[in-house]
Structure 1
Amino acid sequence: MVSSSAGFVTGLTAAALTTIGVLAHQASAGAPAALERSHASSTPAPGASKAPRDRRHPEALPTGSGRGERVVYSVDDDRVWLVDAGDKVQRTFKVTPSTVDPAPGTYAVTSRSNRVTGSDGIPVEHVVRFAGVKDVVIGFSAAVDGSMAKPDPGERTGGIRQTRADGDAMWRFATIGQPVVVVP
């Protein structure tokens, strides 16, 4: 009976690891084409300012952004909220968007890297990836040199830049599997 139980547990473990591998491969392959859109199509002309969703309370958590512990990212407001299990905002901050946005929806953190070179050639840290659009991987990161310059609009990049302090907070909060809710 003991060896039968051990075999059963071994089988379940193997199945779980296989499932994780398949999901990781699917995540690296990118989002379905129906969910793809370019940041340029939803962004005002250069120099135009984007008004916050709620002019009186621009830091207010967007309604309809889900429940429970999650990261919320507004592509229109260029803002992130780190929300705890009780739906209380732990931190909110502005970000510099990439040139390619994920479509609104619910994603999950699929991978993380402590330090890499960003798609724009800048060394970044605390990379938290959660989506893909065609061949562009989308994730949050902080430039090691602290810069938050807008990316070249002619390049397809997926790095949503945050300050190093905000990147540290994101790194501690957004572990593998953490929900990321993208709202307009």
Structure 2
Amino acid sequence: MASSSAGFVTGLTAAALATIGYLGHQAAATAPEDLGRPRASGSPAPGASKAPRDRRHPEALPGGSGQGERVVYSVDDDRVWLVGAGGEVRRTFRVTPSTVDPAPGTYAVTSRSNRITGSDGSPVEHVVRFTSTEGVVIGFSAAVDGSTARPDPGERTGGIRESRADGDAMWRFATIGQPVVVVP
């Protein structure tokens, strides 16, 4: 009796493993090519567009970007909106993205610095931080010299660069705890 039970269990185990193997093969055959492959978070997915979400109205506040007073940052549009409590856009402006993008989601301003040296070595002001990704702190800042050049793609930086005027507006608006909504 013991040998027939062992044979039965062995048969069930083999059938289960065969089923798991078949399902794994099916999943692999239908998964996107880049699934599971590491990709720099600062790079869009293959085929992903960095074109404005709304070509006719690139300054329009993205739908699904929350409610109430908040900062909205679109990774694909490289644009920020400062939104008042009633949902009115107080200011919108283009930014120069960092090499590491934050994931879409809702965050809050966690710290601020009036003047520091940025992760790229440039003096920056009005730094407003809201998250970190893979050990890189992400936030908005303005270069003291007013430059908004794209960062070296070989460097892992989290500074989303604004003009000095936009940095001033962000500094006044985004105090500690202010929601920051990141959308694609």
Residue 169 of structure 2 corresponds to residue 166 of structure 1: no
In the aligned structure 2, how far is the partner of 1:159 from the partner of 1:82?
18
**Native 8 Å contact 2:151 2:157 kept in 1:** yes
Count of residues paired in the alignment: 146
Higher relative contact order (Cα pairs below 8 Å, separated by 6+ residues)? 1
Structure 2 CA distance for partners of 1:43 and 1:107, relative to 1, 3 Å: farther
Percent of aligned pairs sharing the same letter: 82
Which one has a bigger Cα radius of gyration?
2
Pair 1:64-2:67 in alignment = no
Are 1:122 and 2:125 matched, yes or no?
A: no
Counterpart for residue 36 of structure 2: none
Specify every segment of 5 or more residues in structure 2 that has no aligned partner in the other structure, as ranges. 1-38
* Residue identity in the other structure for 1:173: F
Q: Is the 8 A contact 2:44 2:50 kept in 1?
A: no
Give the letter for the 2:138 counterpart.
I
TM-score by length of 1: 0.76
Q: Which runs of 4+ in 1 moved over 2 A?
A: 41-45
User: Which of 17, 40, 44 lines up with 2:43 in the alignment?
Assistant: 40
Partner of 1:97: 97
Task: Output the CA distance in 1 between the equivalents of 2:66 and 2:40.
Answer: 22
Report the 3-state secondary structure (helix = DSSP H, G, I; strand = E; otherwise coil) of the residue aligned with 1:170.
Answer: helix
Aligned to 2:135: 135
Counterpart for residue 79 of structure 1: 79
> Match of 1:116, as an amino acid?
I
Q: Offset of 1:133 from its aligned partner?
A: 0.5
Superposed displacement of residue 41, structure 1:
3.8
Contact persistence 1:37–1:103 (CA under 8 A): no
Question: What is the identity, as a one-letter code, of the residue corresponding to 2:41?
Answer: S
Offset of 1:37 from its aligned partner? 6.3
Partner-residue secondary structure (3-state), 1:38: coil
Give unpaired runs (5+ residues) of structure 1.
Answer: 1-35
**Corresponding residue SS for 1:102:** coil
Q: Aligned letter for 2:52?
A: P
Letter of the 2:117 counterpart: T
